[in-house]
């Protein structure tokens, strides 16, 4: 009787905190990243007894997005889903999500509210609305970095990692002269070769603040710094200072660096887990270079964020909020960064990290943080542009045609711009009447 009374009292006292379980779909299959996410799920389930998260992976980033759409249309969506960076705009305009800032506000009324300003600026602005509110929870955040094989560089007489593209070229020339057949490697991923370069140089990709100002943006990357860089890339490629990833033994830029075939690579900080597991020694990680004499701005985040889907009750959302609070803890963020190369996203986590004296395994994360923490300009939040996967395809096709000698780099970027603009107009028409939050 006493027990029953106690139970009633408890139930009355905390009506919102009833036990709930929910599904979380993550977008990694196998490997250290998937393992690290599973550990976070287990950690949350072990840390408290009220809520349970069921973590499953429907496949890669693309597959997770497709299956989320199919599930939503069938009314079977998960409560939480990991969606990659290029899906951000589609998710924001979908009408199918429960904005994270609202969720945390409504679920955490009694607890201390989330300090969203504590998020690293570049990360927050990439996922925030024009009013500065976060629609999704930044989760696995990565940015571009320069990986160098310090032993090979030292053997060629280069003692410091290149800070500028001029130094990068000089280092590659020395490496080549020293007999290195692959001084630097690239797979010409536009996320790095276009978006990161433009951000670091503070150059616009598109009007309307890279699309953050509205759906009527137009691409403008076919001049200025992005053009200068790609023309340099074309020249480096011809001089065999920069080697195509497809022309290496493994066909992958990460592995070509990790197996020692190539001395330098511009890759994501999240490539770290693959590089580390290969067992290579003497790896240096530094921010991606910028042109000499230019002001260096922040690099932009990539990776994915966690979206909360509509269609559940407050108990489930309370459980989701508890899960998110767990993920936001510095210890969770740092454990995740250590295993994957992803970057901690709050200043608090960064402070804890720096106090504890960062281990080697956190080198890429630290470089990523400092590279993303630099002051930016209007174009620093990165791209918010429709049909960006198709656009990246178009950019790559045109650039490949330039490499094959069928057109100049200028005309490649001009054509990529006009094809991109057609995609943007079509996206605008698809979302006619909708406004960016």
Partner 1 sequence: MKSRAMFSRRWMPLILAAPQLAIVFLFFLWPACKAIGWSVYLVRPFGNGSVFVGLENYRRILSDESFYASLQATFIFTASSVGMAIVIALVLAGCTELNLRGARFFRHAFIWPYAIAAAVLGVIFKFAMNPVVGAMSFLNDIIPGSWAPYINSSEAMCMLIAAFAWTQVPFNFAIFAAALQSVPDDYLAAAAIDGAGPIRRFVDIQLPLIVPFIFFAAVVNVIEAFTHSFGLVDTLTQGGPGRATNILVYQIFSDGFVGMDLSRSSTLSVIMMICIALLTMLQFRFFGARTRYGK
- Residue from 30, 179, 357, 433 that binds partner 1 (CB under 8 A)? 433
3-state secondary structure the chain: CHHHHHHHHHHHHCHHHCCCEEEEECCCCCHHHHHHHHHHHHHHHHHCCCCEEEEECCCCHHHHHHHHHHHHHCCCCCCEEEEEHHHHHHHHCCCCECCHHHHHHHHCCCCCCCCHHHECHHHHHHHECCCCCECCEEEEEECEEEEEEHHHHHHCCCCCCCCEHHHHHHHHHHHHHCCCCCCEEECCCHHHHHHHHHHHHCCCCEHHHHCCCCCCCCECCCCHHHHHHHHHHHHHHHCCCEEEHHHCCCCCHHHHHHCCCCCEEEEEHHHHHHHHHCCCCCEEEEECCECCCCCCCCCCCEEEEEEEECCCCHHHHHHHHHHHHHHHCHHHHHHHHHHHCCECCEHHHHHHHHHCCCCHHHHHHHHHHHHHCCCCCCCCCCCCCCCHHHHHHHHHHHHHHHHCCCCCHHHHHHHHHHHHHHHHHHHHHHCCCCCCC
The nearest distance, CB 338 to partner 1, in angstroms, is 31
Stretch in the footprint of partner 1 (CB under 8 A) among 62-70, 164-172, 268-276, 313-321: 62-70
Asked whether position 235 contacts partner 1 by CB under 8 A, the answer is no
| Site of tokens 């079977």 | 76
Q: Two tokens at 437?
A: 């939050």
Asked whether position 12 contacts partner 1 by CB under 8 A, the answer is no
127-186 binders of partner 1 (CB under 8 A): none
Asked whether position 251 contacts partner 1 by CB under 8 A, the answer is yes
Stretch in the footprint of partner 1 (CB under 8 A) among 167-175, 226-234, 311-319, 393-401: 393-401
Q: Which is nearer to partner 1, 119 or 191 (CB)?
A: 191
The nearest distance, CB 325 to partner 1, in angstroms, is 27
358-387 binders of partner 1 (CB under 8 A): 387
- Residue from 27, 33, 65, 353 that binds partner 1 (CB under 8 A)? 65
Asked whether position 94 contacts partner 1 by CB under 8 A, the answer is yes
- Residue from 397, 410, 414, 421 that binds partner 1 (CB under 8 A)? 397
Q: Which is nearer to partner 1, 17 or 389 (CB)?
A: 389
Asked whether position 432 contacts partner 1 by CB under 8 A, the answer is yes
Q: Which is nearer to partner 1, 389 or 411 (CB)?
A: 389
73-92 binders of partner 1 (CB under 8 A): 73, 87, 90
- Residue from 401, 410, 418, 436 that binds partner 1 (CB under 8 A)? 401
The nearest distance, CB 324 to partner 1, in angstroms, is 22
Asked whether position 410 contacts partner 1 by CB under 8 A, the answer is no
- Residue from 35, 118, 231, 244 that binds partner 1 (CB under 8 A)? 244
- Residue from 143, 169, 189, 248 that binds partner 1 (CB under 8 A)? 248
Contact set with partner 1 (CB under 8 A)? 62, 65-66, 69, 72-73, 87, 90, 93-96, 244, 246-249, 251, 387, 389-390, 393, 396-398, 400-401, 403-404, 406, 426, 429-434
């Amino acid at each position: 009787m006493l027990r029953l009374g106690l139970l009633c009292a408890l139930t009355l006292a905390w009506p919102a905190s009833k036990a709930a379980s929910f599904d979380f779909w993550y977008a990694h299959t196998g490997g250290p990243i998937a393992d690290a996410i599973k550990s976070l799920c287990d950690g949350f389930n072990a840390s408290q007894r009220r809520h349970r998260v069921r973590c499953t992976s429907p496949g890669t980033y693309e597959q997770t997005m497709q299956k989320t759409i199919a599930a939503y249309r069938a009314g079977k969506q998960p409560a939480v889903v990991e969606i990659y960076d290029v899906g951000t705009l589609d998710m924001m305009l979908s009408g199918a999500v429960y904005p994270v800032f609202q969720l945390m506000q409504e679920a955490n009324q009694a607890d201390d509210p989330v300090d969203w300003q504590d998020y690293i600026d570049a990360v927050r602005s990439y996922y925030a609305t024009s009013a500065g509110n976060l629609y999704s929870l930044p989760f696995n955040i990565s940015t571009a970095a320069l990986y160098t094989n310090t032993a090979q560089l030292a053997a060629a007489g280069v003692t410091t990692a290149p800070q500028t593209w001029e130094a990068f070229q000089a280092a590659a020339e020395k490496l080549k002269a020293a007999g290195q057949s692959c001084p630097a490697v690239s797979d010409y991923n536009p996320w790095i070769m276009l978006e990161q370069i433009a951000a670091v140089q503070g150059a616009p990709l598109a009007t309307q603040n890279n699309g953050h100002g509205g759906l009527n943006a137009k691409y403008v990357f076919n001049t200025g710094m992005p053009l200068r860089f790609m023309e340099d890339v074309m020249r480096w490629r011809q001089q065999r200072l920069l080697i195509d990833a497809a022309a290496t033994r493994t066909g992958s830029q990460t592995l070509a660096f990790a197996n020692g075939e190539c001395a330098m690579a511009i890759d994501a900080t999240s490539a770290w887990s693959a590089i580390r597991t290969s067992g290579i020694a003497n790896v240096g990680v530094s921010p991606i270079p910028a042109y000499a004499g230019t002001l260096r701005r922040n690099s932009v985040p990539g990776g994915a964020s966690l979206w909360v889907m509509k269609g559940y009750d407050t108990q489930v959302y309370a459980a989701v909020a508890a899960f998110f609070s767990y993920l936001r803890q510095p210890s969770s963020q740092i454990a995740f960064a250590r295993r994957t190369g992803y970057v901690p996203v709050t200043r608090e986590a960064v402070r804890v990290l720096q106090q504890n004296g960062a281990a080697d395994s956190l080198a890429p994360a630290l470089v990523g943080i400092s590279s993303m923490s630099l002051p930016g300009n209007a174009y620093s939040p990165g791209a918010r542009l429709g049909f960006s996967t198709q656009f990246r395809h178009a950019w790559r096709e045109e650039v490949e045609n330039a490499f094959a000698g069928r057109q100049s780099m200028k005309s490649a970027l001009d054509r990529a711009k006009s094809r991109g603009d057609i995609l943007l107009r079509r996206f605008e028409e698809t979302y006619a009447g909708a406004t960016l939050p």
